[in-house]
């Protein structure tokens, strides 16, 4: 399992990032990060940066539409996690979501999987996401 060293660069300002924990029956949607991006090939709950003048729900709906080509219902916030290393400084806001419409098409990620929570340990998650798995 790959580990990333945590360092703090005082010149960075925390950015808000939203993540969708999309649940269908007893399965959760996880996505494998693009191999050419930071922390490439690790698994995550999909989402992304909150743009100026966007609220968290709007950002999450936009990011999932851009990344996965589907519309979601944003149900409730279930966690907030701070993560810093020498590349990024973010505050992750995790929302429980459900699929609303559309057919999944990968626009950013290498792969997706629908996973039971008992099988999360079979995947190498990005560190922030790995910390919230126990809450599900």
pLDDT (tens, 9 = 90+) of the chain, 136 residues, equals 444 444 444 455 899 999 999 999 999 999 999 999 988 999 999 999 999 999 999 999 999 999 999 999 999 999 999 988 888 899 999 999 999 999 999 999 999 999 999 999 999 998 888 888 888 8
Contact 11, 86 (CB under 8 A): no
Number of residues that make up the chain: 136
Q: Residue 127's closest CA among 97, 78, 90?
A: 90
**Regarding beta strands 89-102 and 111-115, do their DSSP bridges make them parallel or antiparallel, or are they unpaired?**
unpaired
Instruction: Check residue 12 and give its pLDDT.
Output: 53
Q: Residue 81's closest CA among 31, 25, 6?
A: 6
Element (H, E) at 89: strand 89-102
Say what the pTM is.
0.86
Q: Residue 95's closest CA among 23, 10, 1?
A: 23
For the domain made up of 15-129, give the CATH fold.
Nucleoside Triphosphate Pyrophosphohydrolase (3.90.79)
Q: Residue 102's closest CA among 65, 53, 60?
A: 65
Instruction: Check residue 44 and give its pLDDT.
Output: 96
């Amino acid at each position: 399992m790959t580990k990333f060293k945590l360092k703090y660069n005082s010149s960075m300002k925390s950015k808000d990032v939203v993540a969708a924990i999309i649940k269908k029956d007893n399965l959760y949607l996880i996505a494998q990060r693009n191999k050419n991006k930071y922390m490439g090939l690790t698994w995550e709950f999909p989402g992304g940066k909150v743009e100026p003048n966007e609220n968290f729900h709007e950002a999450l709906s936009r990011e999932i539409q851009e990344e996965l080509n589907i519309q979601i219902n944003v149900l409730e916030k279930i966690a907030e996690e701070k993560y810093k290393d020498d590349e990024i400084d973010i505050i992750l806001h995790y929302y429980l979501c459900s699929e609303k419409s559309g057919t999944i098409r990968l626009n950013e990620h290498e792969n997706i999987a629908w996973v039971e929570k008992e099988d999360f340990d079979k995947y190498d998650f990005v560190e922030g996401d790995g910390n919230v798995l126990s809450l599900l």
